[in-house]
Amino acid sequence: MKKNYQYYLAHRIIIVLIILIVSMLVIIKNKNYSIKSVFSPAKELPIYSVEREDNKIAISFDAAYGDEYTLDILDTLDKYNIKSTFFLVKFWIDKYPHRVEEIHKRGHEIGNHSATHPNMSELSREQMAKEINDTGDAIYEITKKKSNLFRPPFGDYNDALIQVCRENGYYAIQWDIDSLDWKELGVQPVVDRVVRNVGSGSIVLFHNNAKYISEYLPLVIERLLENGYEIVPVSELIYKDDFKMNNNGRQILDK
């Protein structure tokens, strides 16, 4: 009886192990993970925010579809003497090269937002690199300046993407304050959401063609300045070297 039970238990353990191994292989195949990354305790993270002792924050604009309000944004930023970061998709760059030139001419930073706006975690490492580098080349062709910031479309990433970014000279950038302007809820909801949740080291996400941006952007900026925040481009907010990441994707200076 005891022998039969031991056989049964061993049989069940083998089945469970087989299921676990098969499941991990499926995950690795579909999500571009390696065996090393699955068992590694350290997960790769993009930069969501930065731990700072000052009141510096960054506001950023993703541009993938449409250009109706971009000049309004640039004029507003000029009015308050603020420099920002625009994350551009290659097909937007190809359609509006004159606008890319204008953003650059006015002293704003241009970040990379992929070539075709895909879910990056579904791509192979080679496809990820192509998405990033094709867009980087398009940015350089117009600005003669290499971008070193990459924001994944939809905020979608995995360990492989962060590694590919690093291998190609990019910092992967997310956000900790989503304005939700894409929901088109009106002016005041955006103002309230940003102002109430922002903190030192925050990265705020806007979209260049959000419906009410010409109305809410000046209000947001005025409130942020009144509250003592200094608004800078993302590359001036983040640490380039000697940093570590906490579990929330907050970049911390490694003193």
Residues annotated as part of the active site: 62, 207
**Torsion of Cα atoms, 217 then 218 then 219 then 222, to 10°:** 120
Place of tokens 């200094």: 230
Alpha-carbon gap, residue 177 to 182, rounded angstroms: 13
Alpha-carbon gap, residue 177 to 231, rounded angstroms: 14
Write the single-letter amino acid at 82. I
Alpha-carbon gap, residue 226 to 252, rounded angstroms: 26
Write the single-letter amino acid at 88. L
Yes or no: say if 112 and 153 are a contact pair by the CB < 8 Å rule.
no
Q: What token pair was written down for 16?
A: 């469970």
Place of tokens 């022998």: 3
Q: Is 129 helix (H, G, I), strand (E, B) or coil?
A: helix
Yes or no: say if 217 and 187 are a contact pair by the CB < 8 Å rule.
no
Place of tokens 């990265």: 203
